[in-house]
Structure 1
Amino acid sequence: MEPPVTFLLIALLILVSAFLSLSEISMAAARRLKLRQLADAGDARALGALEIQERPGNYFTVVQIGQNMVAILGGIVGEGALTPYFVSALEHVASAKAAATIGFIASFVTVTSLFVLFSDLLPKRLAMVSPEALVLRVVGPMRLWMWLLRPAVWIFDSLANLLIRLFRLPAERDDRVTSADIRAMAEASAQAGLMALGEQQMIENVFELETRTVESAMTTRERIVYLLLDDSDEQIRSRVAAQPHSTYLVCDQNIDQVAGYVDAPDLFQRVLQNESISLKEQPAGGLLRKVLIVPDRLTLSEVLEQFRQAHEDFAVIVNEYSLVVGIITLNDVMSTVMGSLVAPGDEEQIVRRADGSWLMDGLTPIGDVTRAIHADPALLPQRGQYDTLAGFLMVMLRRIPRRTDAVSWGSYRFEVMDVDGYKIDQVMVTQTDGDAAEKVAEPAAEG
């Protein structure tokens, strides 16, 4: 075979091998969601790619047949094409036998390098960068080759299916998208600058609705502004003016005897019409409404479902002893989802200080704590026994924390900075050089 023809044949084999490599990686890396969007927009090529991804056996059989044939032909043609040139160049500096050996090795290395670079590395990198765009270009020719090589494909595919059944291997790709997949995609988009960090946080918060309990988003018992059935008109007006809210819990004698709730607009309407306000009167259209009572172990997702079924947006949370532990509104749940995308009405629960430490409210949900310090929540000790930072400290100390008490977990130190009665107001979190073993620091001696 003439040298120009041989070189042309090598170049053709490299192109065929590059096409096969590109076809293989682009089909494997193409995202089904992206292809589905293109197919829904009317792209028949995307629909064909989706059909192949559902049953990719024949497709990859054609790829492997082609790549092995090209590799064999490339070795035969390449060795015969380049070896004489290397031998003739080396005969001036080496013996004929040595020149022949070195020439063969040089020819083999050269041809192999050309195939590795131009038919393997380069096309595969291109296919990984934009798999969807490339798979649309190769799916048509590959389907033609699947038809032309149908007998050989059937034989090899049948043998492969037999081996798969024999070794009980999965025959189809699992294309289910889990919450972890969506979180990973959102994180990757945020790191690439395609998604705002607040939007990524909102996506993570949506999935946390299934695990976060109502206690992580409720207004706690000591912060509830409530009215009593026996309150006079003047007492009600004074309380509403001093502590304005959209909804007020109404109790009989004490907070644990819940009677219902009233909406602030209903109270304002009475005021504007110069009517007296009485919570005891219950004619049609009275002020007092029946309140939704939910247990404290519900998740935020379950509370949303309760709101939907009851057509309410306000609920009282009670524990197993029927004592009120807090209240929660639909706005509380939505604020948990939206996170930093909405302006909080209260002071931020987590503040990053200039020295790298964090100042956190004791009622900060433990999920927000681990996210802020970039810790793995799955490694938390006795996970599930607490929902807030204060609960974490109580479980670790096995008692009510006092000011200056400290807990070490992993490479982080949690020090109680301020306590109001039995309520933990502020906790300082610092990163230390300690090992990953958890320990509880000795409480500071009281003076």
Structure 2
Amino acid sequence: MDDGNWPLSILIFLGFILMDGMLYGFGAAIQHLNSGTLEKEAGEGNKKAERLLAVLERPAEFVNTVQIVTNLIGLISGAVILRQAGAFLETMIHKTGLRMEEPWTALATAAAAVVLLAVLISLGIVIPKRLASRKPEKWAYRFLRAAGLAVLIFKPFAGLVSGLSWLILYPMGVGLHDKSDNVTEEDIMLMVNEGHEQGVLEADEAEMITNIVELGDKQAGDIMTRRRNVAALPASMTLGEAVDFILREGINSRFPVYGEDIDDIRGILHLRDAVACAQSQENRGKQIDQVEGLLRTAHFIPETRNINPLFKEMQSQKIHMEIVVDEYGQTAGIVTMEDILEEIVGNILDEYDEDEEMISRREDGSFVFDGLTPLEDVSKELGLAFDGEDSENFDTLNGFLISRLNRVPREGETPQVHYGGYLFQTISVENKVIHSVAVIPEGENGLREKPEPGADLPL
């Protein structure tokens, strides 16, 4: 069999790769262009920027035509590759004098075709799209004329395909250019992850966008400062004592004020108001709740309040602290504007705050967790899936461990829990709460010998 057509076939194959790469790269580039930058350049007299803006005004039409052309190229190149690969293999087998049965010849032909198609897809699609996504302006300017010419040549064929598609879709009540309104959170997250992988978004930017998207799934009970950690002042405290306490501790600027107990919230004391009123010696000797106009109105919300509308409400009404109550009307905790912002941007520290890490990793591969670390964060850090019952009934590592122990450890005790291939060793207990926990992987890559209960662990 004559293989004299192989040089021409190779040239055609390379031409397909170049055309595919140009069109796929250009299509990816125009989807990543910044219209604001183009408008600025067009205003400065850049003709190519003006033409690109014209393309961006009808991106669907242009991209659809590009996709049709690239699909056509794929079909033609596939046919050429299969035909020429088979002919080439038969020629090579004939020249070597080998005799190969028909099934093996077919398999060899298919293998050669797969290799050539992989080359076409890699060089003509994947690599150009990735490069164009990283430098969209450079690719768009370079291939604007060539891509425009290719689209113009194949526009009649693209019109024919669109017409046939419309004839099929119209009876179904679907328009050819209808857009889906059902954009989901998953779609947004896929775009964010792709942008991060391609270098368009930095890691902290991608994380912030993710936090914003996930904010709508959270409730006040998920982010509140819990009851036992709330710094509140008794209404019976004098204003002078309150100011001295606030200035000495320096932990907050706003404090809930309670009557008989923490469930009887009377109002919110602001540091600025307290200092202003304390200028009067008469006021300094009065109880907090007896100083006229000192306490601000306390606002109450349920634990189930969604964070998104809560954030908007706090913004519009200039509220910086909400009291969270449970289903029995008891104080469950507080939510501040800072708590909500920290869900988006991460922990916010001022010059007086100490940076206390909830999770720290040690050189030996083990971890130290704060007992109040959310169970979700523990799961992410360890790659450990907690049982549905555990993850639903408990929010923190402390709650999970107490459930497993079936008791509240006493101060000085260091009980252990084995779970999911990890040893959870209590380090310290304070005020009926497991304060810190060492988590050590077990098995071949972890502990060779399990320590005895109460044994000291390296901290």
Whether the TM-score (by the shorter chain) exceeds 0.5 is yes
| TM-superposed deviation, 1:336 | 3.7
Cα distance between partner residues in 1 of 2:275 and 2:229: 23
Matches within 5 A, 1:91-110: none
Matches within 5 A, 1:36-435: 43=49, 44-45=51-52, 48=55, 51=58, 53=60, 59-69=66-76, 72=79, 90=95, 116=117, 119-132=120-133, 133=136, 137=143, 139-149=147-157, 153=161, 157=165, 161=168, 178-180=184-186, 182-183=188-189, 197-244=203-250, 245-272=252-279, 274=281, 276-277=283-284, 278=286, 279-281=288-290, 283=292, 286-339=293-346, 342=349, 345=354, 347-375=356-384, 381-396=389-404, 400=408, 403-433=413-443
Q: For 2:294, what is the secondary structure of its paired residue? A: coil
Cα distance between partner residues in 2 of 1:358 and 1:234: 45
* Residues 111 and 409 (structure 1), Cα distance of their counterparts in 2 relative to 1, 3 Å cut: closer
* Residues 21 and 165 (structure 1), Cα distance of their counterparts in 2 relative to 1, 3 Å cut: farther
* One-letter code aligned to 2:237: D
* Residues 317 and 25 (structure 1), Cα distance of their counterparts in 2 relative to 1, 3 Å cut: same
* One-letter code aligned to 2:301: V
Worse-matched range after superposition: 29-38 or 143-152: 29-38
Q: For 2:129, what is the secondary structure of its paired residue? A: helix
Q: Is the 8 A contact 1:32 1:50 kept in 2?
A: no
Cα distance between partner residues in 2 of 1:309 and 1:150: 52
* Residues 400 and 315 (structure 1), Cα distance of their counterparts in 2 relative to 1, 3 Å cut: same
Unpaired runs of 5+ in structure 2?
43-48, 445-451, 455-459
| TM-superposed deviation, 1:319 | 1.5
Cα distance between partner residues in 2 of 1:154 and 1:119: 26
Q: TM-score, normalised by structure 1?
A: 0.71
Unpaired runs of 5+ in structure 1?
435-442
Cα distance between partner residues in 1 of 2:111 and 2:439: 60
Q: TM-score, normalised by structure 2?
A: 0.70
Deviation string, structure 1 residues 157-181 (Cα, Å, up to 9, x no partner): 468x469969x9x997869765445
| TM-superposed deviation, 1:359 | 1.6
Report the equivalent of 1:17. 16
* Residues 299 and 382 (structure 1), Cα distance of their counterparts in 2 relative to 1, 3 Å cut: farther
Worse-matched range after superposition: 286-295 or 173-182: 173-182
Identity %: 20
* Residues 172 and 341 (structure 1), Cα distance of their counterparts in 2 relative to 1, 3 Å cut: farther
Length, aligned pairs only: 418
Q: For 2:393, what is the secondary structure of its paired residue? A: coil
Cα root mean square deviation, aligned: 4.9
* Residues 47 and 355 (structure 1), Cα distance of their counterparts in 2 relative to 1, 3 Å cut: farther
* One-letter code aligned to 1:10: S
Cα distance between partner residues in 2 of 1:307 and 1:8: 72
